[in-house]
Structure 1
Amino acid sequence: MIAGLIGVTGINRHSREIKDSSGRVVGRVSCRSNSANKKTPKRVNYNMRQISARILKCKTSGSARMALTGARTKVAQLKRQMNDYGIDRYELEHAIIHATKIMRVAKKKLKHLQEEETVKKGGPCAGEQAEMEEEFEEQLFEDTQNKESADAYGDDTAQEIMRDLQQEIQREMMKAMQEEMQQMLQEMTQESGLDELMEELGASFSVDMDPEDLEAMKKKHRNEELKDILEADMKYLKAIFNKLQREKEAGSSIANAYANAMSDSGGVSLELCGAEIPVDAAVSPDMAVMTEGANIDYMA
């Protein structure tokens, strides 16, 4: 009576020993494959909803500014991963594209909220001030990133103090410029009789915008932001879906590749009493399963 016992002797070699009722090995069926294992690239750790969710929740320009900073940081982090040659390049490239689009939405959300707050507070030239603040913050962010890269082992406390000082100087400069521009505009209005013209220049110069118009403007802004986020998400998901589809199709060809590998110097062989007998490659190793009570003829 012969019993079958399965064993694995290597990554690309599978064998099945054939024993008699006394436990003596009388034969062995082995399967060898010469195909090399491919190293799977590392997946990109990227949550496409992380930043966009923060953007959608922003209600003030202050929170929008923080979301914009987070979006810029995420883009910078992803770009630094380009130096990792073991990572999935396709996923990383599309993650960077998506994160960059979300960063643009964050900038748009900040600008929209600043416009809405300007309408509520009124005051001339507030829109121009918001644009100047944004440009200054962008430059400050770039300078900070460059400095941190160059001085990775520098004094963190000193860098933090320097950033706080720069931000404080920026706020004071903007405040002084706003007061000066307001004063200049008031003088020009008094001298030239432009009171009626000022009332027609638009919402950025008016404190009497109808609540209905303000709500309509807010709704328009939110729709634009949501539309941009959805478009970015759809394109990113489509790229990832196409990649997964290609991987699935490649996986379905493993059986064919296995059969081809069996037809070369590898393959299936039957060893009985020290003599190795080639077996047709079309025979699957699973067909050689030995169960208790099965019989096999062999020459002693």
Structure 2
Amino acid sequence: MHDGTYQATDPDGRRHPITFGGQPLTAFQPGWVPVGLQTGLPPFHLLELRRDDGPMRDAVWYLDQDFGFAGNALDRMQPWQVARLHEALIPLLAEIRQTSLLASTPAIADAAQRFSGINPRFVADLVRLIVALAPPQIVRAARFDQVVPAMAKAALRLSPQMLEQSLAPGRVDVRVVSPFTGTKLPVQEAFAFAEDRTRAWRCHDPVHDVTLYLLASADGAPALYVPAMDAVFTHQHGLSGARVLEGLLCHYALADGILVRPTRLDETESSDAEAAEAGDDSWLARAAAAETIDHATVLDDADHASRNGWLRRLLRPTG
């Protein structure tokens, strides 16, 4: 606070008054205090607030380029302001998707620096805003030989039998099987989504130069995400295509400064084996007991591309 008003100081040392309704801000609501200001997502700044007089709570103010209050929730902002956020976020998330999520080995994108220091919950809100425009399609079926032939137009050709192997539950080991070659692939990275208990195992098929993600939701439903096909394959209800992409983009957006050490498959197997011996009811065991859906639901690939084509060109790999 300076001269009785809240002000922000830019990198050049200049002070800018924070305004609310066009007037300099002199006080927040009782119990709320500012704890951080992030300026890495122009034309907006994110002012993080925290409540200090009771249970720990946090909130965010979106400030415009002149540090004026624009809103405290994305769904309360003006359409033109949301459109400006789209313009700012889409290139950043496209870079993260290309450099981190699709790459043959885990890597941290330069764009991740723009999210550094932002509360992970607010990063998730921003990512969700963009993914909602064009989520991956979900391909859900009891048997994939019913649906894979319908995707024959895709540049990558899946084997229904090998896809079944990719999603086959096991008791103690994580078996990431390529749905293209049937080869058992080494796990490069294993992690959990920040907002829920979804677990992810990343691997790479060198024959087709395709990165794959084996996932398991909290209730044990396995799924396989193939980013190059913009599709999530699963037998069961549980994970949505949007939730998968949101979780992965958040993981890599918040990975700035974190050295990711690839996880060997034998390490993963050993860890899960120890958990099983200790009586852990792992997702693999729950998946083995889960019921499959007795019908197939498939989104038409051409229709999906038509509806989301403009954004897919930004969020899918180039070249």
Using structure 1 for the length normalisation, give the TM-score. 0.21
The answer to which structure has the higher strand fraction is 2
Larger RCO: 1 or 2 (CA < 8 Å, sep 6+):
1
Using structure 2 for the length normalisation, give the TM-score. 0.20
Larger of the two Rg values belongs to structure: 1
